[in-house]
Chain A
Amino acid sequence: MATLRRAEAEDMLYAEARLLDERRYGEWLEMLTEDSTYWMPCNGNGTDPNREISLIYDDFAKLSDRIDRLTSDVAHAQSPPSKTKRLISNVQVEPVDDGANVISAFILYELRRGKQRVFAGRYEHRIRFEDGRWKIAAKKTVLVDNDEVIDNLTFIV
């Protein structure tokens, strides 16, 4: 069983950050396993998505639909699209049976329609070894301001 080293985990997170900042969403999806979920809780850290509303709780199929929509010509909230740049730090790797949980902190700057906004939060990536490489089996994004009013979150954090 391969062990995910911190340097490898960081490389993965940086690669993912670059794909998302460059809106290369198709390539990003290829980093995910097909049973992957993307969870962005609302109103706090998130305990049970079946009992509480989330900002996003997508399985792979819904995530693919989301990206089809966001990259269509008529997704108005992304027309023009957001420009983003995110920094990732404080990476911690916790080994589990078939991979690792990777916890990190991020700061994301987003610019759209002449206004720049700052988001910050915690990523929790469940990483699994599959088809000869490390893949994202689940991603949870906990925004610092997920219990506050947010105007537009129609880019992938």
Chain B
Amino acid sequence: MELKLDELVQDSRVHRRIYLEPEIFELEMERIFESNWVFVGHESEVADPGDYKTVPIGTQPAIMTRDEGGEIHVLMNRCTHRGSTICQEQRGNTHTFRCWYHGWTFNNKGDLIGVPYANGYGGSFDKRNFSLIKAARVERYRGLVFASLNPEVESLADYLASAKYYIDLFMDLSPQGEVESRSGIHKYGYDGNWKFQMENGVDGYHPNFVHQSFFETQGKQLGRQAMQLFAGNSECESKDLGNGHAILDMAPRRAATTRPVPNLLRGATSRASSDAYIESLIRRHGNDRTAEILAASNVNLAIFPNLLVIGIQLRITIPVSAKRTDVHLLPTTLKGVPDEINVARLRAHESFYGPAGGGAPDDVEMFTRCTEGLRVKGAEWLELSRGLERERIGVDGLTVGHITDEVPQRAFYRRWKALMCGVAQSRQIKPLRVARTV
């Protein structure tokens, strides 16, 4: 039986082929990663003029730069002469990029500024026609930098929809309203599809099984509190934030708090640092907003298609091929807090995340197990119906479910389907017939 693309993703289930087939992966790059907003990094990664880092857009190599005027650009890492990459380092500082194949040189805005022995090209040659390809749009929200290769894409603010509220909470944990990502990058990868990572980052059903070993070694009280968040009788929620974004919201339901929420992923600090920190938050935000920030800051937030905001980290999911994915974790520190708070954030992050962490590798293990299991034919579908009968529309108009429900995954795939099958952009694109799985 041959299914059309739009039949592979249904209201409460998705077909195994979307995780396995190179042809679908290529289409995802074109219709999702190259047509939509994608997260490329935090502005503090290129804090100073001349700073750059390399980052892919989908599978295409790109460079995020900051020019001398402070503007951030996303340039495609491809010499306009004969195709070589022009930047070989993961990060650094430079005002120019030279392609060492034939010496063409570009500034960090992407303009071609030097061509060796230029008279060989004749009088009609115009350097302005050979600028680097650039992301058509680069926009920022609270320090998060997004790029799009599609000039017609909606504004970033519209795109982020209801996710903005939660991004604000994450940033407002700093009394200066700013985080920094200058503490390095954890990098891990797995033999499996990129969507596994995006589904998992906002999956409140898995932690008590995948991360049982971590919770059990965190001390009785903290470990039990963490497991209670994800239990069948938890009061926490999962939420569809629009445009494929979603969240696990672990804000306490009953009472506002003026103390930091006990959180395994942020670490514990001395009373003195903690008090100084809370006072600085109250000075900036007042009591009510501070309580809101502290309460709702314990979130797992997914921004479609490639960003997760979890614990203290910004996580970039990097698709490599249908069955290979890289993941970069950018731990953040808070501006304007006692050093001890930020050190605790780093230590808490390390204990769970990264390739040697006590939690994330167990997630990754599940992705590789899924990739292996999905080779079985006859069981064609992955079931995403959990909570379908009890989800509801909240006061803010958003679909809300229990934290263990698959509301976030259904939100992800509604958006996926809209983009892949052309509903979100243009109804003229015909659903593609994909080849039968071999």
Contact = CB atoms under 8 A, between A and B. Distances in A.
B213 A72 contact: yes
A145 to B, nearest CB: 10
Contact of A40 (B183, B184, B356, B361): B356
B349 A53 contact: yes
Contacts of B191: 151
Interface string A109-153: 000010000000000000000000000000000000001111111
Contacts of B350: 53-57
Interface in B329-366: 331, 339, 343, 346-347, 349-351, 354-356, 358, 361-362, 364-366
Interface in A47-80: 49-57, 62, 65-66, 68-69, 72, 74-77, 79
Nearest to A79: B365
B247 to A, nearest CB: 24
Nearest to B209: A74
Contacts of A57: 347, 350
Contacts of B218: 65
Contact of A76 (B331, B351, B354, B366): B366
Contacts of B358: 65-66, 69
Contacts of B90: 147
A49 B326 CA distance: 24
A42 interface: yes
A52 B188 contact: no
A149 B356 contact: no
B189 A42 contact: no
A42 B185 contact: yes
Given A69-B214, A147-B90, A76 B186 contact: no
B207 to A, nearest CB: 12
A49 B347 CA distance: 9
Given A69-B358, A76-B210, A76-B362, A149 B188 contact: yes
Name which of B210, B349, B356 has the most chain A CB atoms within 10 A of its CB: B356
Chain B, interface size category, equals: 35 or more
Chain A, interface size category, equals: 20 to 34
Contacts of B326: 149
A147 B193 CA distance: 22
B187 interface: yes
Interface of A: 40, 42-43, 49-57, 62, 65-66, 68-69, 72, 74-77, 79, 113, 147-154
A149 B212 CA distance: 25
Contact of B356 (A72, A79, A153): A153
Interface in B347-397: 347, 349-351, 354-356, 358, 361-362, 364-366, 368
Nearest to B189: A149
A53 B361 contact: no
Contacts of B355: 55, 150-154
Given A75-B213, A152-B364, 17 more contacts: A53-B183, A53-B331, A53-B350, A55-B350, A56-B350, A57-B347, A66-B217, A66-B358, A69-B217, A76-B213, A76-B365, A149-B187, A151-B190, A152-B355, A153-B354, A154-B356, A154-B361
Contacts of B346: 49-50, 52-54
B361 A77 contact: yes
B362 A53 contact: no
Nearest to B347: A57
Contacts of B11: none
A50 B185 CA distance: 14
Contacts of B343: 50
B216 interface: yes
Nearest to A67: B217
Name which of B90, B213, B358 has the most chain A CB atoms within 10 A of its CB: B213
Given A69-B214, A75-B213, A76-B365, A151 B356 contact: no
Contacts of B216: 69, 72
Nearest to A41: B184
Interface string B205-237: 000001011101110000000000000000000
